[in-house]
Structure 1
Amino acid sequence: MTIDPATMLSLYPKFLQLRLLGDESLRDALGVEIGETITIEGAVSFDRTLLNAAIEGAYAGEGDGASVQDMDGEEWSLSLDSTRSPPAVRLSKEESAYLLVGLAWLLPKASDRLHHLEGLRRELAIGVAALAPWREILARRTLNLPEIDALQEVIDRSPMSRARKIAADVTKGKGDLETFAPGSAESYAPFVGSDPASDLASFRDGMLPGIVRAWLDWDQFEGAKMALLGCGQGSLAPATELRDLPGDHLVRLAEWGLEGADLLSKVAIIEVGLPSIRRVPDLTGPLSRLVEQIRDMEPKSEGSRAKLLMASLITVEAELSRTQALAHLPPFQRRIAALAHASLFDRTAHHRVDTDGFAKWALEARGRHFYLQELVDLRSEPRWHPEGATAERLDAELMGRIRNAAWANTDSIAGTELEELLMGSGGRSISSRVQFPGSFLPGPAEGAYDAAPSPPQEFEEILDQSLADRELTPRSVIALVNLSAMFRIGDERIDRAVELVRAAGYHFSADVGTDERDLLIDGLAKVAAGTRRADLARDVRIMLRRLRVDGSAPLPATREFLTCVTAAAAHGNLAEWADFVGDCAIEAANSIASEDEARLLHFDLERLCQCEPLVRARGGGRALATLQLTLKE
């Protein structure tokens, strides 16, 4: 029996039918044709093929009084408004009339089609290579419907197009995740390139200069504003040609930064501007006001920019985890891309959205997805934990970045009003807002294992004193937990921590409260990850198990499992990491205390397996089956 293509397609779910029918080569192979309609202002619909044919005919001058039928068979007259470029299309019937944006790709002259394409390239900063195949086609002929859609996708992927779409959506009080959290790698390439970088230094020194140069070649001032979006880490902007912009451009950039820039671009402008104070003295005033503006931020206040940026980052990262659009990039490079798009949203939507409402939605709808993806990323970049994605941590990081930029440019700011503002010790100085350890912790792009510096001698002495205790107390590990996030800790000190844990029978002294104990165990899991110490990771797991076996206020199964996933990053090897996570998942699944816990653990584990499929084969699948049985009972 032969099944015709339409019947065969009907056997698939609706969403899959749409995906299949979107493939032109598959439609041609099956001999399937599809019809598309276009609806204008929700009032009238036309067959898109017939409408485009009528428009193309009108452009070609095939007589006045052209007409086209709507889907109800009603006749509409079609005329051109040549005062616009390309000519707009007027549809009218009795007292109804609509003006449609012209379709340059249907113009009869190749020179007109190419002129419009070049205009779009210049206006929207679309790469020459991205438009090369379209230039070749348009030089020969007009575009068909699938080609028009494909070219529109290229246009829509440009950051300038997305900024306009975000602004339009915000004005209308609606939003589309695809607009500021796109699912295509090409949308992020203008900020981070297309190829993976081996580490932050190679990205900064090898890839970023070319990215910034492309923006500046497009437009020296507007391009500089866009290039700042890709400078979400403190060493990036000063390493580019942005620091060499003409003096008047730097002043304009700083003045624009006061009112028009997103939060991260404000800081990057300070980092770029400080080295140029001697060359451009007029920078002193606007840079001072920028520093004061950031100094006076209240990250917890209603509608704060720090909240908006972190909510946007969580949303973009969660969407990238779902779509896997940047799965070929290392986590730090993907996060720079995510920060760029989150900052584009911040730049465009600040003061125009309900920041607190959006932040609440982001945490509830995307927070879990974000958190689990970042836990998986700890295996390759263990020094940045997803708990760092808060407005407070962002605020502390930005104060640290400004302070670092000041120390790197002490000669440049000496004798200016910036000196006291940046280097002073009074309440007006940025120093009053620097926090320890928050302002010195790694940021989202600084999680690589080999990036940690050695601790100063005074910190080494603090570590040695705390680890000299005979009992496992908070004092024994607090310094280790805090300092290991900032510095490379030698094996001999980790050995001492392991000795303390084992000598204490894998539990803290009795006078430690439950909340404090749980935070300390979580801290030790992070130490194990950040120092790549698999033995400490095993000991953390034993500590958690002992709490459960002894009935000593154990952690909920899901929290215990996530703590173990953090510790699993002690294993840099993927197979070893997956084995550790799978074993922990099985243990957690077999110690569930309630149906709600089983449901949450099932969600987390299923999502974790999507982020890293090897987990399913290394025990995660068995744990999921156990949880499914629990939920069916």
Structure 2
Amino acid sequence: MVEPLDTRKNLAVELLRIFPPSIGVDALEDTVFRERYGLSLDATITFNGLDASIKRSALFPAIRALYANPQTSIPVKTVDGTSAKLSMELEKEPKLFLSLGEARHEIPSFWMLAENKDIRLSGFQVEVAERNLPTDTIESWRQKIEERPLSDEEMSDLKEDLALVPQEVAKAIRHEAMQNEGRVSVLVPRNARYYRGLIGDRGDAANVEKYAAGNAKAQVDRLLNWDFGRGLAQCLLFCANPRLSALIDISGKAPEEVKSFFRWLANEGDRFSQIAGVEVGIRAFSKYPQIEPYLVKIIEDVRDENPSDKDGRLALTAHLFVFADGELARTRCFADAPPYWRRLAATAQASILERAIVSLGGAGEDWSEWAHLRAQHFFMQTLADLREEPRWLPDLMTPAQLRLELLMRARIVSNEFQSDISDGPLRSLVLGKEPNQLETLTSVPTAAAPSPVEGGIAAPIEFPKDLQADLRAPQDGKVLEAKIFASVVNFSMTFHFDKEIAGLISNLLRSVKYRLAFEQDADITFTLLMGLASIAASARYPELADELRILTRVLGRRGDLKADAEAKMRIALVACASRKDKLEWCKTVGEWLLEIANGELERKEAARFRSHLRTLCHAVPELWQHTAKVDATLSALCD
């Protein structure tokens, strides 16, 4: 028997009151849910710059009546009960006015409510041109707008789509940043349609190289064909890899227009966009030599910054990336996409946030609290991501590593196009060999570490043969000096380690029965284990991961591993990434974490461990069934 609609409606309302507000909002925003239970929403329309708000149920019928008879005026009531009047003027385009007392204010025309099809299509075309809507959004709305005026709910859906474009979100962020309390949902939207407009359509690209070779060019062309300045500014937001910035062609643009853009970029751009802009600028330098001072300024600003400065721009960039990526992980907005795609979105959104902060004069402040808000989600999601993209660790998101990465990108593009760079300050800076020039500044192993979007791409340089000698030397069961692994660990983020090298390390550990000798007072055990775990992951060699689990256990019993449960969890998750299959990964993670939980843990340590575990299971829900015993063990320790 089907319950009467009123009964189901009342039941749904009461049940919604039980759940947290965020869940209730999500449910009410679902059109199918509302129709099933006979529920409706009555939004409040607030007009920017006016101290007036009107209920949608009162405003929209009045506007429809005006479109039918524009010669009249329609009385309406604001939310606080103030009397107001709506009126309309029909010229080339309809203009709508709200009168409050003696004051008369122009407000948006709400063209989508008009009966006249030409008015609707004309208004829609203006919005398309101004906002550069994605093609799929345009097509999904054009047919409806041609057929009839939009309903109240369709109107709200269209308004949401019009607001979910990068330039409108940037405006909302600047407004939100000036409030006493900001809403995270405004700073980092969780709507997948928004990110399609921001970074494009991934298609089936499994990594950033394939995206650059696939749909990325269509996104670049869509933006540059719309408006050079605004389009290029948006292109640079998602150029977190040189292959993406290489798709941008600015040839044929007026020199003064190009110069003006790079002036803006050097003074007001975010760090990620600035370096992508340097790549674009150096590729086009022979045609636009007048941009030289701006390219030099960008590179020198990055070079001269102290990475340890908590109020610096590099710290700001790192904090905002952690905040944006952590929030996207928390909302699971990209749960079904490869990790690089979420990080590409996080890079672009962090860059929008940085531009807003710079424009408001807040770049010289400490923004670490923003990172702390979502640090746990960022960290645990990134460790979980290693199963799919094993080369990028959360530890690499630091101001110092960012500085190296950005300078290295400038160096690489400069070497590639050095014949196009004429003698002058730029050539000296990017091709010189003095201590304050790029070659010297980036001649360290970590300069070749992957960027956030390159975790799924194999390192291009093989581990050198001459560094393999110690790994191949027979040990005859003797105690092994731990420093034998120094070259391996120091270059774990730089070189490509194949299964052969991982096998050599695994056999070496087994042959000496996990007996390693460490230098006196040397606290390198954790670094050594993390480096070897990274090699096991990138080489996809589970046997080395299994040997590391035994080694970790042995070192812990001997007292050589001075690491808490959190550090041991990190070693475990990095090593377990050697198993790409999700089920195998879940089983191995569950077993290793249970071993850690059954160790000697303090109450506070157990509580932190449990918190991390729950965040990890939020990132990978399939892990819950394999870590139930871990959670129960930690719960008992916390009580």
**Pick from 455, 464, 467: which aligns with 2:469?**
464
Match of 1:165 in 2: 172
Matching residue of 2:55 = 47
In the other structure, the counterpart of 2:28 is 21
| Worse-superposed segment, 49-58 or 60-69 | 60-69
| Closer/same/farther in 2, CA of residues 35 and 121 from structure 1, 3 Å limit | closer
Displacement, 1:100?
A: 4.5
**DSSP-derived class of the 1:298 partner:** coil
Q: 1:513 to 1:577 in 2, by over 3 A?
A: farther
TM-score when normalising by structure 1: 0.90
CA distance in 1, matches of 2:274, 2:53: 46
Q: Aligned-pair RMSD on alpha carbons?
A: 3.0
**Once structures 1 and 2 are overlaid, which stretch shifts more, 387-396 or 406-415?**
406-415
**How much does 1:31 deviate?**
3.3
Q: 1:177 to 1:348 in 2, by over 3 A?
A: same
Mark the CA change 1:76 to 1:564 in structure 2 (over 3 Å): closer, same or farther. Answer: same
The aligned counterpart of 2:10 is 7
Give the Cα–Cα distance (whole angstroms) in 2 for the partners of residues 520 and 193 of structure 1.
40
* Residue 275 of structure 1 pairs with residue 283 of structure 2: yes
Aligned-residue sequence identity (percent) comes to 25
- 1:305 is aligned to 2:313: yes
Q: In the TM superposition, what whole-angstrom CA distance separates every residue of 1:3-54 from its partner, at most 9, and x where no partner exists?
A: 7023321134343444333333443343344444456799766432122212
Q: 1:426 to 1:76 in 2, by over 3 A?
A: same
CA distance in 1, matches of 2:251, 2:489: 37
Amino acid at match of 2:8: P
**Aligned: 1:342 with 2:379:** no
1:133-282 equivalence runs, <5 A:
133-172=140-179, 174-190=181-197, 191-242=199-250, 249-282=257-290
Distance 2:483 2:120 in 1: 72
Deviation of the 1:126 alpha carbon: 0.9
8 Å contact kept, 1:104–1:113:
yes
Spell out, residue by residue over 1:165-212, the C-alpha distance to the aligned partner (whole angstroms, 9 max, x if none): 122223445533223422122212231414230333221122221111
Displacement, 1:628? 2.5
Measured in 2, the distance between the counterparts of 1:351 and 1:166 equals: 11
Distance change (3 Å), C-alpha of 1:584 and 1:411: same
Quote how far apart the aligned CAs of 1:496 are: 3.8
For residue 497 of structure 1, what is the aligned residue in structure 2?
505
- Alpha-carbon offset, residue 381 of structure 1: 1.1
Tell me if the contact between 1:374 and 1:386 (Cα under 8 Å) persists in the aligned partners.
yes
Q: Write the letter of the residue equivalent to 2:319.
A: A
* Aligned position for 1:392: 400
Amino acid at match of 2:10: T
The alpha-carbon deviation at position 376 of structure 1 amounts to 0.9
Structure 2 residue matching 1:379: 3-state secondary structure: coil
* Cα gap change, 1:294 to 1:101, in 2 (>3 Å): same
Whether 1:126 aligns to 2:130 is: no
Report if aligned partners of 1:89, 1:99 keep a CA contact under 8 Å in 2.
Answer: yes
Checking the alignment, whether the CA contact within 8 Å between 2:99 and 2:105 is kept in structure 1 is yes
Residues 1:562 and 2:570 are matched in the alignment: yes
Residue 330 of structure 2 corresponds to residue 322 of structure 1: yes
Post-superposition shift, 1:226? 1.3
Kindly indicate whether the alpha-carbon contact (under 8 Å) linking 2:239 and 2:245 is maintained by their aligned counterparts in 1. Answer: yes
CA contact (8 A) 1:243 1:272 kept: no
Name the CA shift for 1:480/1:215 in 2 (closer, same or farther; >3 Å). Answer: same
Query: Shift in Å at residue 360 of structure 1?
Result: 1.9
User: Does 571-580 or 400-409 show the bigger shift?
Assistant: 571-580
Q: Offset at 1:76? A: 3.5
- Determine whether 1:57 maps to 2:57: no
Residue by residue over 1:250-288, the C-alpha shift from the partner in whole angstroms, topping out at 9 and shown as x without a partner, is 444333321232212221122122233333333434333
**1:559 and 1:631 mapped to 2: Cα distance?**
19
Out of 543-552 and 130-139, give the one that drifted further.
Answer: 543-552
| CA distance 1:331–1:216, shift in 2 (3 Å) | same
SS of equivalent residue, structure 1 residue 312: helix
Deviates more, 1:382-391 or 1:172-181: 172-181
In 2, Cα distance between the equivalents of 1:171 and 1:83?
Answer: 37
CA displacement at 1:601 relative to structure 2 = 1.5
Return the match for 2:111 from 104, 108, 113.
Answer: 104
* Structure 1 residues 389-428: Cα deviation after superposition (integer angstroms, max 9, x where no partner): 1111111111111111111112112534432211112244
Letter paired with 1:205: A
Q: Which amino acid aligns with 1:394?
A: L
> What is the rounded CA distance, in whole Å, between the counterparts of 1:416 and 1:568 in structure 2?
50
- Residue in structure 2 matching 1:606, options 590, 614, 617: 614
Q: Which has the higher mean CA deviation after the structures are superposed, 320-329 or 19-28?
A: 19-28
- Alpha-carbon distance between aligned partners in 2 of 1:570 and 1:184, rounded to the nearest angstrom: 33
Cα distance between partner residues in 2 of 1:557 and 1:243: 55
Q: Taking structure 1 as reference, are residues 451 and 211 closer, same or farther at Cα in structure 2, changes over 3 Å only?
A: farther
1:566 positional shift: 0.9
Amino acid at match of 2:15: L
Cα deviation 1:45-65 (Å, max 9, x = unaligned): 643212221233234336545
Tell me which moved more, 552-561 or 159-168: 552-561
Does 1:422 find its partner at 2:430? yes
Instruction: Determine if contact 2:552/2:561 at 8 Å carries over to the other structure.
Output: no
2:420 alignment partner in structure 1: 412
Q: What is the CA–CA distance in structure 2 between the aligned matches of 1:579 and 1:342, rounded to whole Å?
A: 35
Answering whether residue 484 of structure 2 is matched by residue 481 of structure 1, we say no
Aligned residue-pair number: 627
Q: Matches of 1:255 and 1:484 in 2, distance apart? A: 39
Cα–Cα, structure 1 residues 117 and 18, in superposed 2: closer, same or farther, change >3 Å? same
The CA distance in 2 between the partners of 1:271 and 1:567, in whole Å, is 35
- Separation in structure 2 between the aligned mates of residue 449 and residue 580 of structure 1, nearest angstrom: 24
Say whether the 8 Å CA contact 2:323–2:372 is kept in structure 1. Answer: no
> C-alpha separation between the residues in 1 aligned to 2:287 and 2:105?
56
Task: Check whether the contact 1:485–1:530 (CA below 8 A) recurs between aligned residues.
Answer: no
Q: Aligned-pair distance for 1:349?
A: 2.0
Q: Aligned partner of 1:464: which letter?
A: A
Q: Distance in 1 between matches of 2:527 and 2:164?
A: 43
Aligned partners of 1:124, 1:227: CA distance in 2, in Å? 15
Letter in 1 for 2:495: F
Partner deviation per Cα, 1:152-177 (whole Å, 9 max, x = no partner): 11112111111221222234455332
SS at match of 1:626: helix
Residues 24 and 208 from structure 1, CA distance in 2 versus in 1: closer, same or farther, beyond 3 angstroms? closer
TM-score (norm 2): 0.89
Structure 1 residues 631 and 85: CA distance shift in structure 2, 3 A: farther
SS at match of 2:214: helix
SS in 2 for 1:67: strand
User: Distance in 2 between the 1:118 and 1:438 partners?
Assistant: 50
Q: CA-to-partner distance for each residue in 1:59-88, whole Å, 9 max, x for gaps?
A: 433654521235576644434578997524
How far 1:356 sits from its partner (Å)? 7.5
**Aligned twin of 1:331:** 339
Go from structure 1 to structure 2 and tell me whether the alpha carbon gap of 1:409 and 1:63 turns closer, same or farther (over 3 Å shift).
Answer: closer
Q: Judging changes above 3 Å, is the alpha-carbon distance between structure 1 residues 49 and 287 closer, same or farther for their aligned structure 2 residues?
A: same
**Conserved? CA contact 2:319–2:371, under 8 Å:** yes
